[in-house]
Amino acid sequence: MNDQKLMENELLVLKGVCDLYLHGSIESTTAEVHDAFKDALQTSLNMQNKVYNLMSEKGWYKTNTADQNEINTAKQKFSQN
């Protein structure tokens, strides 16, 4: 497995872990459990950000720029509600 595939897999796992920790903190019934999930989520988000930045620097994570007309349309749509 090459480095790019390895990092893609790591990023997918981290995203899944973040999702689990987010739901754990939302559903927790005590402050202690909430804080434990929240701390784990923050740590995982930091790790995810580092992996993303490394992939982006190497050109392995491409993003598309949003069209300004689409942004304006969305703003108008949601500002009317």
Domain boundaries, given as residue ranges, for the chain = 3-79
pLDDT in tens, 61-73: 888 888 999 999 9
Phi-psi category of residue 59: left, alpha or beta, with phi > 0 → left and psi -120 to 50 → alpha: left
pTM (two decimals): 0.76
pLDDT in tens, 24-80: 999 999 999 999 999 999 999 999 999 999 999 999 988 888 899 999 999 999 998
Dihedral sign of CA atoms 10, 4, 63, 77 in order:
negative
